[in-house]
Structure 1
Amino acid sequence: MPINRLDTNRIFAPQSATAVFALILIAFSCPISASEAPVSEATQECIDCHATFAPAMIADWKKSLHAKTTPAAARKKPELERRVSSPNIPEQLAGVAVGCAECHSLNPAAHKDTFDHNDKKVHLTVTPNDCAVCHAEESQQFDQNLMSHAWGNLTKNSVFSSLMNAVNGLQSVHGLKSTLIAPDQKSQDDSCLQCHGTEVQVKGLQTRETDQGTFDFPVLTGWPNQGVGRINPDGSKGSCSACHNRHQFAIEIARSPGTCAQCHKGPDVPAYKVYSVSKHGALYSALAKEWNFKSVPWRVGEDFTAPTCATCHASLLTSPDGDVIAKRTHRMNDRIPWRLFGLIYSHAHPKSPDTSIIKNKNGLPLPTTLTGESAKEYLINDEEIAARQKTMQEVCKSCHTTDWVDGHWDLFQNSRKTSDAMVLSATEIMRTAWDKKLADNSNLFDEAIEKKWIEQWLFHANSVRLSSAMLGADYGVFDGGRWSLSKNIQDMLDYMKFLMKPGATEGAEQPRQKPKQR
């Protein structure tokens, strides 16, 4: 018996974490008339039962290539047009559309969130290990990516964990002193871990009565989340839907700068803001409606005439004649020689995607010392830097002359050097404050002068480096760039001089002065 809209809202009330289960199963309801590929009996059964839920999700799936072609047909495409990289697709999956059952009941034994539903083994999350059945190469590359390790790189790093706690913790104020109260897990999940990814854990089952009968639903913590480094119930890392939004999974969405802006827009990672004011961003804004974002491979000068984020970092690019300019990659740092943001100084890219293993010579889990000396044993060597730079420059040269590209990279290298020098100046001020006991270095992120120092490298230096790399000069000068670097140094000096005055200990409650007698 169909469920009306009122019943649906009541059955899947938002008070329960397992209400999200309903949203996933919504995707199972869709008439298959728009599908060009045969649908499995299991998927058809899902659709027949859930046809009244959330038509928008179903409309998305109907538009997807998953609904319109089979893995076997996708494997027969010419190599450069092929999107399925696994050489062997299981027989039971190869000849049918990739539908509800093919994703949400795949690998049930590996999923701790698998539960019995209408005599089927269904799991809520779909993970890179599931997608790897058809997209093995992409899944393997993504697992070697800093993004897939984003949860551990943040939470397992004592320095970054302190920063996260300083940002998300609650301040309790008494007089002129404040006490930091550690943030609760939901606050962490709703802030930094929305992008870095949560740890999704199964906390048992919850029995619920619905108009369709009694069902047991999994209770999950760290959910909902589609962060790039999400720890999944099957043990895998990451979420493909961070870039390939479910349930359409369209390549044109992944190629859109707006998709990257979900996590790369704030002052700590101003990549999207820089792109939006760059010449490339201006061309995208004006001309994108004329471009072909669906083509595989992506032909420079024919499908598009200016880069998006995916152009430079991920996509398979060819000339109009089919000559390969850059291979497709889901290890986003394949074309990145240096790490520009998130750390105190720019530095060569880490060798391992697990950056929590890095230790500098002072024992801190950072790729450089506070004075800029690199932990070279954990970073790529000069040969690999040159190889990655060459790959990226080949992308640039598909639109620009060699002189233009060389000149741009020369400016960029200089910006790295000067922004690092301005961070070092701020660090010397900070070290003096620590040495003179004007600040306590047991926590690098909790005092006013320390917060100014953090802004120097986490906001302003990042803005300069990314602006130079991506031709967005506006954000490299006055809007959080070089002006802010110089102003912040003066602010730190002036504040330290204030702290050095008698009785001006930071955070201390100052004695009240008696009123003057007239």
Structure 2
Amino acid sequence: MKGRIVRFGIVAAVAALGCGVSLGLRAAPTEAAQQSKCISCHEKVTPGIVKQFLSGKMAKVMDCSGCHGSDHQSAEDVAKVKLPTPDTCARCHEKRVKEYRAGKHALAWAAMKAMPMITHQPSAVGGGDLKGCSACHKIGEKAMGDLTRYGTGACDSCHTRHSFSVKEARDPRACRTCHMGFDHPQWEMWQTSKHGTIWEIEPTTGRAPTCQTCHMPDGGHNVETAWGFLALRLPEDDKEWLDNRVTILKAIGVLDDKGQPTERLDAVKAAKVARLTKEDFEKDRQKMIAACSQCHSRSYAEANLKAGDEVIREVDKIFADSIRTVKALYDDGIIKKPAGWKYTPDLLQFYEAKTAAEQELYLIFLEYRQRAFQGAFHANPDYMHWYGWAKVKEAATRIKEDAERMRKEAKQ
């Protein structure tokens, strides 16, 4: 009788959380292992997964069926296993899923699919099999048909299977698999900044901010930033900067040659990769100032963020000038528009660019400019200057030199 009361209490507690699962619920992992058919079978089939699951908190209140359903009962009906979605997680974690869906992580898959270059890549390299772009962008919500093996909206990108540890997701190292490397080395920038250095020396004191401190204050799952991934915003009060930004927006096909919005603007809006109102920008800027002000004075935080803005402004002068150099080659017929391209130059074709000058332009766009502005905001002067600013200037010189070469050859 006592055992029944205990089991009934656990079921009631889970029901109150909104989980709505009842199969194999027990007060402790050891009991779950003894009672659940899922556990007893998978201890033989996938013992590592069982060990991970039983090490976590979820095993204390539910078994595998809470996420995967109970239709799968044998090795012959594995196809009946349900793949969890954010809706599955929301039964217990409604607030966090709502925050996730309001932020940019939920849009990661849509942002990847919106890139024209993705259509040129083999499936395993680009959007399938989780070996390339999709391995990180799977954190976004997607149609089930796009990624049937691992479901949609991967909360386990941060709370990895099957322990789903909150402690793990709070560790800055949880972010580095995706936020590193060529186009967004935020991990390397932070790790080698003074903030990251202090954290490595004192990882448990809380004296240095982590990724989560700044981008997930109070555990919020929104993770948006004022400038967005591409450091682009509209409107812009600075006339010169606005002209340069319009040039950049034309080069990514968001505006046409006449400066009018194209169909790509809808994708930019949907994926939230740019800030398109002053209110949206200011909301995220104030959120970051509040995070910085936990350790620094508000005036210090505002001044440093403003300095980051100025880095973008100065880089955009060089970037826009380089775009105009390449655009003139198209306008003069020296470079021919590639088959299937609607916009030229088209920076969203990435490394599919057809000339050396355009390859350099792509590197400014996705590598050097990213490192300049992200290095500034991650308090890493070396990344901002030598990996970013200096490389932008070098690439701009090579673009002009290559343009001159092509013009000379065209006259011969």
Task: Please indicate the TM-score interval, normalised by the length of the shorter structure.
Answer: 0.7 to 0.9
Offset of residue 67 of structure 1: 2.2
User: Aligned pair 1:153/2:123, yes or no?
Assistant: no
Once residues 181 and 379 of structure 2 are traced to their aligned partners in structure 1, the CA distance between those partners, rounded to angstroms, is 18
Once residues 364 and 260 of structure 1 are traced to their aligned partners in structure 2, the CA distance between those partners, rounded to angstroms, is 34
Once residues 27 and 94 of structure 2 are traced to their aligned partners in structure 1, the CA distance between those partners, rounded to angstroms, is 30
Partner of 1:184: 122
Once residues 67 and 201 of structure 1 are traced to their aligned partners in structure 2, the CA distance between those partners, rounded to angstroms, is 26
Match of 2:216 among 271, 295, 314: 314
5+ residue gaps, structure 2, are: 1-23, 236-252, 267-271
Once residues 336 and 78 of structure 2 are traced to their aligned partners in structure 1, the CA distance between those partners, rounded to angstroms, is 58
Once residues 416 and 363 of structure 1 are traced to their aligned partners in structure 2, the CA distance between those partners, rounded to angstroms, is 23
Once residues 278 and 362 of structure 2 are traced to their aligned partners in structure 1, the CA distance between those partners, rounded to angstroms, is 29
Q: How does 1:316-465 map to 2 (within 5 A)?
A: 316=218, 328-333=219-224, 336-339=225-228, 341=229, 343=230, 346-347=232-233, 360=255, 361-366=259-264, 379-442=275-338, 443=341, 444=346, 445=349, 446-447=353-354, 448-465=356-373
Once residues 137 and 40 of structure 1 are traced to their aligned partners in structure 2, the CA distance between those partners, rounded to angstroms, is 30
Q: What amino acid sits opposite 2:172 in the alignment?
A: P
Deviations 1:387-432 (A, max 9, x none): 3222211111111123321221221121121122221121111211
Once residues 124 and 498 of structure 1 are traced to their aligned partners in structure 2, the CA distance between those partners, rounded to angstroms, is 59
Q: What amino acid sits opposite 1:451 in the alignment?
A: Q
Offset of residue 56 of structure 1: 3.0
Once residues 196 and 153 of structure 1 are traced to their aligned partners in structure 2, the CA distance between those partners, rounded to angstroms, is 8
The higher radius of gyration belongs to 1
Partner of 2:206: 304
User: Aligned pair 1:64/2:18, yes or no?
Assistant: no
Match of 1:195 among 132, 136, 142: 136
Match of 1:245 among 138, 160, 170: 160
Once residues 380 and 53 of structure 2 are traced to their aligned partners in structure 1, the CA distance between those partners, rounded to angstroms, is 37
Partner of 1:286: 201
Q: Is the 8 A contact 1:105 1:121 kept in 2?
A: no
Deviations 1:339-393 (A, max 9, x none): 1x3x4x52269xxxxxxxx95443445559xxxxxxx9x8453234323222211
Q: Report SS of the residue matched to 2:38.
A: helix
Q: Report SS of the residue matched to 2:212.
A: helix
Q: Residues 35 and 115 (structure 1 numbering): CA distance in 2 closer, same or farther, change over 3 Å?
A: closer
Once residues 318 and 265 of structure 2 are traced to their aligned partners in structure 1, the CA distance between those partners, rounded to angstroms, is 18
Partner of 1:502: 409
Offset of residue 483 of structure 1: 0.7
5+ residue gaps, structure 1, are: 1-29, 69-96, 107-113, 166-181, 203-220, 226-231, 292-302, 317-327, 350-357, 369-375, 506-518
Q: What amino acid sits opposite 2:29 in the alignment?
A: S
Q: Is the 8 A contact 2:67 2:82 kept in 1?
A: no
Q: Is the 8 A contact 2:227 2:281 kept in 1?
A: yes
Q: Is the 8 A contact 1:271 1:466 kept in 2?
A: yes
Q: More deviation in 278-287 or 250-259?
A: 250-259
Offset of residue 117 of structure 1: 3.9
- How many residue pairs match? The answer is 344
Match of 1:123 among 76, 81, 100: 81
Deviations 1:234-271 (A, max 9, x none): xxx41100111011111121122222111111221121
Partner of 1:267: 182
Q: Is the 8 A contact 1:255 1:310 kept in 2?
A: yes
Partner of 2:391: 484
Once residues 470 and 365 of structure 1 are traced to their aligned partners in structure 2, the CA distance between those partners, rounded to angstroms, is 33
Offset of residue 120 of structure 1: 9.9
Once residues 504 and 332 of structure 1 are traced to their aligned partners in structure 2, the CA distance between those partners, rounded to angstroms, is 52
Q: Residues 504 and 276 (structure 1 numbering): CA distance in 2 closer, same or farther, change over 3 Å?
A: farther
Q: How does 1:60-139 map to 2 (within 5 A)?
A: 60-68=52-60, 97-105=61-69, 117=74, 122-139=80-97
Q: Is the 8 A contact 1:347 1:367 kept in 2?
A: no
Offset of residue 222 of structure 1: 3.8
Q: What amino acid sits opposite 1:148 in the alignment?
A: A
Q: What amino acid sits opposite 2:290 in the alignment?
A: E
Q: Residues 276 and 252 (structure 1 numbering): CA distance in 2 closer, same or farther, change over 3 Å?
A: same
Q: Is the 8 A contact 1:255 1:311 kept in 2?
A: no
Partner of 2:3: none
Once residues 117 and 200 of structure 1 are traced to their aligned partners in structure 2, the CA distance between those partners, rounded to angstroms, is 27
Offset of residue 40 of structure 1: 9.5
**What is the identity percentage for the equivalent residue pairs of Structure 1 and Structure 2?**
20
RMSD: 3.3
Partner of 1:48: 40
Partner of 1:164: 118
Once residues 200 and 296 of structure 2 are traced to their aligned partners in structure 1, the CA distance between those partners, rounded to angstroms, is 20
Q: Report SS of the residue matched to 1:400.
A: coil
Q: Residues 268 and 45 (structure 1 numbering): CA distance in 2 closer, same or farther, change over 3 Å?
A: same
